[in-house]
Structure 1
Amino acid sequence: AQDFEMIGNGTMVLREGYSEGDYEEGFTAEISVSSATVNRSWQDDELSERITIEGNGWLSFNGGDNNSSGGGFGEIHTFFFESLDEDGQRRAQNFQLEANASMRISGASDFFSFELDDLIIRERWSDDIREEQFFRATGGGEFGFEIEDDQFSIDVNGTIPLIHLESSGGETVSDTIIVDGTYDGDAEGSFGLVRQIVDSGIQENSEGVRYEVDKIQNEFWFNVSATPFGPISQEFGAEHNLTYEFTVPQEDWRNRTVRLQYVEDNGTVSDEFPPESPIIEQPTRPEASPLISNQISRESGKSPQNVVPGDRFVLLGNPSNTLEVTINSIADKEMDGHIVEAAEWTGRFEFEETMASGFFVNEGPLSGLLYEVSRWITLESDGENQSNDIYFQEYQKVDRILYPSIITADENTPPSLELVRFREGSLHTEGGASHIEVLVNDVDTDVVAVIVDLSSIGLGLVDLSDSGMKGDLTIHDDVWTSLIIHEGLEFGDFYIPVTIIDYWVEVSEIAEISIANLPPRVMSASFSQSSAIRGENIGISVDAIDGHGVSEVIVDLLGWGGDLFPLDFSESSGLWSGIFSVPTSIAPGERNIPLRMSDSQGAETTTLGSGLVSVLRIDNEHPNLSFLEVWRDGAPQSLISDQGELVHPVMVSEGGDQITHHIEATISDYDGVSSVQAKIGRLAEIGKSEQWLLMVDDGTSGDRLAGDGIYSLEFTVRPTIPEGEIEIKIRATDIFLSSTPPEDQGHVFSVYTSECCSDDSSWISKNLSSIVLVSTFSLLLLGMVAVILQIRKSDFD
């Protein structure tokens, strides 16, 4: 087995579409690679390779550059490529490119360019499924150049208002190119091109099969006045072409155009249905293309870990270059300062004219490594004279060992255990999943295996990895990892044996881990009704599970100002059932009812539910009007009639005065009252009989005490109001905008006329003028009597 991790940067050049020896066509991208990573594994004759490349750079196609008169060139802002190959199959691929580009087109003696502001390509594959495909090219520009000849001169000017080519998910989204230009000089005229999707619909092909298509307008015109020469070094006559292409949007299909509609200048329309269109094809899965396609080696293959003189074996690792090896002797050799045991060998390749001999390491982690080798290759001449044969000799020797640092048992330092932990922080019972990580201290970095014994929780011996497998995050960082799933019920603190094996020794140590007891889970919950009002009693049934057995389920409404409501378990149904009272302080709306649960081992949890738990909707009740009174002269006037009916009397003065009354309404709501309004009809001021008037609880407008929940409205009764019953309306709104329904708003007031009083005045003040007149008349009468008596008295005298 071989594992490689390669990290670096540099420059990468990509070429596509070039013909042999011709670089004037095709696409070139020169990428400045800022980050490149290759993770490569070779095991059991299977190759696994993951490649990641990031960078930016420049692109060119059809020979375009700063000095060219054609093609295109631009800057690559983002380049990203990632692939995963396993056993000859491309398992995943992700490609992203974001760039801009300048496009150049040659004229007769000059060129013009336009800009592609956005050039975006994205494609992502997982196995044989293309998960993402996106392409967009947008831009535009202006151009102008001069065409000169011995006979004429023409100036060409034009614009490219819009280029927008886009596809997503393998289907065309936009196919728009618009060109508009004029030319003048010795010849005048205009030219243009419009290509755009104008409609989408269903179209039959030549065989009558219906397909969804885009209708693409493809219109070109060229108007000329007095010359046969066009603006771009071609000969044109005046022409106008309008064609509609009915094309399927799937870009992976072939022969995508199912109908061509030609529109002549005289209005004549003709159709063409291309045969064998469309041809349905699936997007082609990327093929595996490993960065290093072969195991490059000379003598390679499996050999005995330790050999003795006389052993014979064949190296078959490289099928094109097998070697038969014979062990001659064992000797000590110095290799980069290390004294190692080496085996001397000779060998013969399958080609008789090729031979080799040397030494390879016969101990430690480098056992089987070629330390020294000589190869002889003979190329025989055609003649019989062997003096004309050519001999090649190659000599190789290891002069530096970079890794490992310890290659013999005497140099080794045994590894030690530093820490055992769970990456996620904990592991729980009943299906708990977590990554166990063992941190090893090994100065020689030659640990080959770490094994933890989890038999105490029923998992047996578990092999860990430090090579990026089994959940390991970083290769060879001395953190050995494995994903474990604990399906059992064992929990608490456990002492587990940990075995650390390096190339030379095996070390066993004891570590402590803690397993948490998973509390009960709610599988489902149902209520006796889907909605409730505050203060209402609701039935609930809960299906809860736990491997240790559920011991208690409680509806916990303390957080909403409610109580705890224990549920009872039914052996027959297996459900926990009971009744709880909806707290008055709970807000309206959809609410998950909290459940407090415990198992037989003391694990406890409070849950607000999950996707399996039913939601109870708390209905918002409108504000409640509990008491209504009419007040006058500081005293309530409402009373119960002899018939037992509540009467709200409103007094009208017979004397023509206005009498002040006020209404008091006691309003309550769980959520708080936002406003209270009354529509009092003819009792209101003139012009406000149909208006909703605000009732207050702030100590004004007749309100006797602010903030007591009694809302008041003061009104003055005019003497012109006739006797009888008047229906008024009172509505209240809470903070959640729930209002008194229309059928509960109406209240009847009884209007009657009274002689005894008007407004707030006493009987004396109301009849003061009459009293004054009577008194004045009485005084005058007494005066007249006195005068008469005086006269009569005078006569007697």
Structure 2
Amino acid sequence: MSWTCERKDETPQVLKRSALVLFHMNLKRRTLALSLCLMLLLPVIASVQADGQPIPPSITTAWNDDGQGSVHHAYSVTFADDGAYEISVELNHLRNGTLLPYEVLTSWSVEDEIRIANLQFNTSLAWGDEIDLNIDVIGWNGDSLDDVVSASRSLTVGTWNQPMADHEVMTSTTWDLNQTYLDENGTQAFVLSFEGQGWQERVGLALNSWELGNGSLVSSEVSNESETTLNLVLESIWKNETLLSGSLTSQVFDARGSGTLMIMSEDDGLTTVIMANVSNGHFNRSMIEGTVSERVNLEATGSLNITGDDEDGALTIEGEIGVLYLETWDENGERRLDHTQFEALATMLLEDDDTTIDIDLDGLTTIERWVDGVRVEHKEELVGSGTFGFGESDENSSIQVNGTILDFHTLIEDGITLTDDIHVDGVITGDAQGSFGIVRTIEETGNQANATGEVFLVNVIHEESWFNLTGLNGGNFFQDEGIGASHNETWDYQVVNSDWANRTVRIVWEETGADASSGDEKPARSPIEQNATQPEAQEILGNISIVRETGLMPIPMVAHDIVHLSGQNGLELTVEAFATGLDPRDGFNLSVVHWSGTYGSSGGFANGSIVDEGPLMGLVSSVTRSMDLPFGEGNDTALFTESQVVQRILSPSIITAENNSAPVLVQLGFVEGLIVGEGGSTGTLVAHVIDAEFNIESVTVDLTPLGGSVTTLNDRGLDGDSAIGDDRYTTQHIVKGLQVGNVTLNLTAVDWFGSITTGQGVVEVVNQGPRLTSVDMLPDRGPRGTTVIINAQAYDGHGVETVQIDMRDQGGDLVELVEENGVWAGNFSIPQSIAPGEHELQFIMTDALGRKTTATAWHASSANSTHVDLYGEHYIPDDVMNPVTILVFNTPPSIVAPNTIALSKSDEAVTALLEIEIYDADGVAVAQANLGVFTPLGTRTTWVSMNDEGLNGDRIAGDGIFTAEMSVRPSIPLGTHEILVQASDSYGETTGFTSIAISLAEGESPLIGSDDDFLSTGVLVGVLALFGLVAAAIVIVSIRNGPKRGDGQDMFGSQ
């Protein structure tokens, strides 16, 4: 056995010797010998082919930018070496079934010792064109070829990322938009990030894509005087795009979230900081057929802080923001809607060395709403009061000025000044004494002519000020003005329009005092009419539409194809494919070609893979982008980065029927756990259906048992679906009828191969219960014990069985109402134990099925036709609810006291008990008695406290009998004396004075006669008179020296 290997540079003798050596090898080395021979033969074979026929060239697209917004119809024909070739070119270019005539311009080049033929055709490219390009190599290195070497390329002109076949895929996407730039005011920033799932569907020429996920938004706007920073966590981001023939025709971006808002400004030395918690932030930006619309809605509460510090002192304003609301709508650069609302409470403190101003702003309200350039709502109101004080010194003299701002109230509505009130009172103390004051108010409204005779509607603002200097002990505080009084009155005829300038058209004044004067003037050039400034459109969401590259591409794409994607204005990408590979998707490997590209001249880049086999040819399997998007008029750019991967291929199917398996139902039910009947709630019905091949075509549920129909569920982020592609198929449903209880629903899932799965789920429908639709109550207020008559109406689809009023928590009863002609009527008494104030009445209603509901308010609006269509005939709107309340008046304590109490006196002072029954449902806070002459000696006042605590003579603690000790002294004259009793409850309600007559009589021991050793009657009378004078003196001294009303005293002024 022998092998012959031939190479041109070896002699036959050498080859023969090699063959003989191989022949004598043993059998174990024959394999090795064969391999060596083949290695020697390979260059010989190649050389023979090169000497006879060239290798067929490869054909790749060279669809480069033509500089005119389109691409060249060109190809690169690449050979195996740098030889000289002669070729024949044939192009079959079909458009809509018609063969296009063509001309070709051929140029030759050499790159890396490789010959390339550059073919440029004069035909244009259009979506759907069918192209067959044939290349025949007819000559090589100056020799004609006997056997023509051919190469061909067949392709369809398609659109980037749009397979020619209709398709439906799900994607996973993350992207970030960073619009940060520097201007004359500083660094402006708008940073938006997104992470979520997407869904893309192509039908015919239309490509629709949806993305649903979450993210964050950070916006910072800096001006020369202010900075606004918004930081939101976006719980929901929704983006929808529609492309027609590869061009973007519509885009909708919608985001909702919450976070913080910080506004800081500097103005005339004042620093204002608003820190707000955004409870609801809603942003919507759309571009539909060239119309750009942007909507913003913010609701927040927070704090307000204003500080300033200069040579005039330190200013601090702190407040709470109750309402901060912003709503705007811009369309094509015009502001269509602008609504701002600000409501706050604040305190202002201004301090320097000798001055303090402390003002409470009880109401600070600003509301302004513009619609299509017209202000339709406007309100500015400021309500406040406070105090101020400052000191002045001059050589050896000083004064102190203190004042009270009793009222400060301004109100403007719809551009009209309605209220302009000021009331200030003050005093001057120290080396000068006096008082001053200002009162300002709108006295009347009427017509007044200005200096030119033109008549305007004006407010006559009357301002009265006075200054009384009653003492002056030196110093020069008032410009040598002497003691006396000055009084000034002005009548300012001011146009009612708050937006106008120079609003005073007439002013009348009259001043008395040292510099008395009066006058009546009409200022020139007044008023100046001007309109309120209409808000201008602002790009709050950034002047950017988030788009992606698109353009024409060859389908299929092969390695080394070059394509310039210019279908999206301002976003051009030149792509070059460089290698083939596999991408695992849905458990299968997609054949792809990898590519990379650059965006225009901005330096942005992209890379990824695109499907090159099967019905999904032209679909981008994965992509990473980083690009600069232009915006604004200053050549600014925003950095956009994105990563997107196809997760599931829904259609067309990439598996065979033999490998397919049927869907599986995991669970079916409402996310809320239940649904309320009679239109009481909207339920989110979710079916968890899985499929190993991810090729579910439809999931339907029969909602007939719930009053619906056979309904298709979706996993596309629509109709209540919370996430795209999570195998949770969703729909929303409202039970409009009277169904209640556990209901079985039947579900059907079908995949692309027709495999059907059926399943069931049990859902719970809850009976809604009766609803109050009307309540009339008379009276709706009164003291305890008042009888209240009530008429109520209620509705329930199953019928109302009972209506009750539950007063048990307030110490009352459960009151049954009686129905007659649809009206439930009854009455009840306000319980004696109920606390004073406003109370909600609780209704308990039961329907025919036994469902009980409670209500403290009734539905004030009825359903319209839209409500009935959406929620059914049993639905009752709850947008306007009127609470049912009763106002209980407080009553003072009840004092049960005798008209007269008989006491007797003896020769010695004794203690008698004053025992009075006092009752109040709220509890007796204070009880006291003015004992008059029976006040124990040493007591600082005749009013003494009574107690029910078992002390100081009180027999039983807590029995409602209040006790005070009376001193019955021998010196008290006989006869009738009055004492007074008064009490107050825990809410401060005080009784009047209850008068009790004390009849004081002599005791049984007779007076001793003159013959005895005791005092005679005349001496006794004299002694009593002397004690009376002393007691009177003690009382007078006690009154003069006793405490004034102040600390440690009760509401009556007693200790």
What TM bracket, shorter-length normalisation?
Answer: 0.5 to 0.7
* Aligned residue runs from structure 1 range 479-518, under 5 A: 479-504=728-753, 505-518=755-768
- Structure 1 counterpart of 2:775: 525
Letter in 2 for 1:8: W
Counterpart check, 1:125 vs 2:328: yes
User: Which of 949, 956, 960 in structure 2 is aligned with 1:709?
Assistant: 960
Higher strand share: 2
- SS of residue in 1 equivalent to 2:725: coil
Letter in 2 for 1:751: L
- Structure 1 counterpart of 2:349: none
- Structure 2 counterpart of 1:216: none
- SS of residue in 1 equivalent to 2:734: strand
User: Which of 649, 657, 671 in structure 2 is aligned with 1:404?
Assistant: 649
Counterpart check, 1:7 vs 2:210: no
Letter in 2 for 1:417: L
- Structure 1 counterpart of 2:487: none
- Structure 1 counterpart of 2:285: 84
- Structure 2 counterpart of 1:718: 969
- Structure 2 counterpart of 1:661: 912
Letter in 1 for 2:991: T
On the 8 A contact 2:192/2:215 being kept in 1, the answer is: no
Alpha-carbon distance between aligned partners in 1 of 2:893 and 2:742, rounded to the nearest angstrom: 57
- Structure 2 counterpart of 1:149: none
Alpha-carbon distance between aligned partners in 2 of 1:209 and 1:279, rounded to the nearest angstrom: 21
User: Which of 697, 700, 708 in structure 2 is aligned with 1:451?
Assistant: 700
- Structure 2 counterpart of 1:698: 949
Letter in 2 for 1:619: F
CA separation of 1:648/1:669 partners in 2, compared to 1, >3 Å: closer, same or farther? same
Alpha-carbon distance between aligned partners in 1 of 2:220 and 2:811, rounded to the nearest angstrom: 65
CA-based RMSD: 5.6
On the 8 A contact 1:525/1:542 being kept in 2, the answer is: yes
On the 8 A contact 1:525/1:613 being kept in 2, the answer is: no
CA separation of 1:696/1:470 partners in 2, compared to 1, >3 Å: closer, same or farther? same
1:403 shift after superposition: 3.8
Structure 1 unmatched ranges of 5 or more: 17-25, 62-76, 97-120, 135-166, 174-199, 213-247, 251-255, 260-269, 302-316, 321-332, 342-357, 372-399, 629-645, 759-765, 774-797
1:550 shift after superposition: 0.3
CA separation of 1:770/1:290 partners in 2, compared to 1, >3 Å: closer, same or farther? same
On the 8 A contact 1:429/1:518 being kept in 2, the answer is: yes
Letter in 1 for 2:819: F
How many residues align structurally? 520
CA separation of 1:460/1:559 partners in 2, compared to 1, >3 Å: closer, same or farther? same
Alpha-carbon distance between aligned partners in 2 of 1:689 and 1:587, rounded to the nearest angstrom: 36
- Structure 2 counterpart of 1:382: none
1:90 shift after superposition: 1.9
- Structure 2 counterpart of 1:621: 891
Alpha-carbon distance between aligned partners in 2 of 1:297 and 1:211, rounded to the nearest angstrom: 65
- SS of residue in 1 equivalent to 2:958: coil
- SS of residue in 2 equivalent to 1:456: helix
On the 8 A contact 2:550/2:568 being kept in 1, the answer is: no
Alpha-carbon distance between aligned partners in 1 of 2:611 and 2:956, rounded to the nearest angstrom: 109
Alpha-carbon distance between aligned partners in 2 of 1:206 and 1:507, rounded to the nearest angstrom: 89
Counterpart check, 1:649 vs 2:902: yes
1:651 shift after superposition: 2.3
Letter in 2 for 1:408: I
* Aligned residue runs from structure 1 range 501-650, under 5 A: 501-504=750-753, 505-570=755-820, 572=821, 574-609=822-857, 611-628=881-898, 647-650=900-903
Alpha-carbon distance between aligned partners in 1 of 2:989 and 2:774, rounded to the nearest angstrom: 32
- Structure 1 counterpart of 2:550: 296
On the 8 A contact 1:2/1:41 being kept in 2, the answer is: yes
CA separation of 1:129/1:482 partners in 2, compared to 1, >3 Å: closer, same or farther? farther
* Aligned residue runs from structure 1 range 262-411, under 5 A: 281-284=534-537, 291-293=545-547, 296-298=550-552, 366=616, 403-404=648-649, 407-410=654-657, 411=659
Give per-residue Cα distances to partners, 1:152-208, cap 9 Å, x unaligned.
Answer: xxxxxxxxxxxxxxx99799x9xxxxxxxxxxxxxxxxxxxxxxxxxx999x99999
Alpha-carbon distance between aligned partners in 1 of 2:451 and 2:693, rounded to the nearest angstrom: 72
Alpha-carbon distance between aligned partners in 2 of 1:446 and 1:207, rounded to the nearest angstrom: 84
Letter in 1 for 2:174: I
More divergent stretch after superposition (710-719 vs 289-298)? 289-298
Counterpart check, 1:737 vs 2:988: yes
On the 8 A contact 1:361/1:370 being kept in 2, the answer is: no
CA separation of 1:32/1:689 partners in 2, compared to 1, >3 Å: closer, same or farther? closer
- Structure 1 counterpart of 2:432: none
Which structure carries more relative contact order (alpha carbon 8 Å, separation 6+)?
Answer: 2
- Structure 1 counterpart of 2:217: 54
Give per-residue Cα distances to partners, 1:10-32, cap 9 Å, x unaligned.
Answer: 7544466xxxxxxxxx5674759
Alpha-carbon distance between aligned partners in 1 of 2:170 and 2:646, rounded to the nearest angstrom: 18
1:730 shift after superposition: 1.0
TM-score for both structures, normalised by structure 1:
0.53
TM-score for both structures, normalised by structure 2:
0.41
CA separation of 1:86/1:569 partners in 2, compared to 1, >3 Å: closer, same or farther? farther
CA separation of 1:536/1:279 partners in 2, compared to 1, >3 Å: closer, same or farther? closer
CA separation of 1:582/1:287 partners in 2, compared to 1, >3 Å: closer, same or farther? closer
User: Which of 193, 218, 221 in structure 2 is aligned with 1:35?
Assistant: 193
On the 8 A contact 2:681/2:734 being kept in 1, the answer is: yes
- SS of residue in 2 equivalent to 1:498: strand
Letter in 2 for 1:547: G
Letter in 2 for 1:464: L
On the 8 A contact 1:662/1:713 being kept in 2, the answer is: yes
Give per-residue Cα distances to partners, 1:709-740, cap 9 Å, x unaligned.
Answer: 22211111233333333222112222233332
Alpha-carbon distance between aligned partners in 2 of 1:684 and 1:649, rounded to the nearest angstrom: 17
On the 8 A contact 1:48/1:85 being kept in 2, the answer is: no
On the 8 A contact 1:52/1:81 being kept in 2, the answer is: no
Give per-residue Cα distances to partners, 1:612-644, cap 9 Å, x unaligned.
Answer: 24312233332222354xxxxxxxxxxxxxxxx
1:585 shift after superposition: 3.4
Over the matched positions of the two proteins, sequence identity in percent amounts to 25
Alpha-carbon distance between aligned partners in 2 of 1:60 and 1:590, rounded to the nearest angstrom: 50
Letter in 2 for 1:469: L
- Structure 1 counterpart of 2:10: none
1:549 shift after superposition: 0.6
1:600 shift after superposition: 0.4
Letter in 2 for 1:678: A
Alpha-carbon distance between aligned partners in 2 of 1:276 and 1:620, rounded to the nearest angstrom: 55
- SS of residue in 1 equivalent to 2:990: coil
On the 8 A contact 1:733/1:740 being kept in 2, the answer is: yes
* Aligned residue runs from structure 1 range 410-489, under 5 A: 410=657, 411-434=659-682, 435-489=684-738
Give per-residue Cα distances to partners, 1:513-569, cap 9 Å, x unaligned.
Answer: 110000111123233322244455433222111111100112223334443222110
On the 8 A contact 2:200/2:207 being kept in 1, the answer is: yes
* Aligned residue runs from structure 1 range 236-247, under 5 A: none
CA separation of 1:258/1:368 partners in 2, compared to 1, >3 Å: closer, same or farther? farther
On the 8 A contact 1:427/1:516 being kept in 2, the answer is: yes
- SS of residue in 2 equivalent to 1:580: strand
Alpha-carbon distance between aligned partners in 2 of 1:627 and 1:122, rounded to the nearest angstrom: 61
User: Which of 995, 999, 1020 in structure 2 is aligned with 1:746?
Assistant: 995
Give per-residue Cα distances to partners, 1:71-123, cap 9 Å, x unaligned.
Answer: xxxxxx99999542152442424799xxxxxxxxxxxxxxxxxxxxxxxx997
Structure 2 unmatched ranges of 5 or more: 1-167, 225-274, 300-323, 331-335, 343-365, 370-377, 381-411, 418-449, 459-496, 504-522, 556-565, 570-579, 592-609, 622-644, 859-880, 1016-1055
1:668 shift after superposition: 2.3
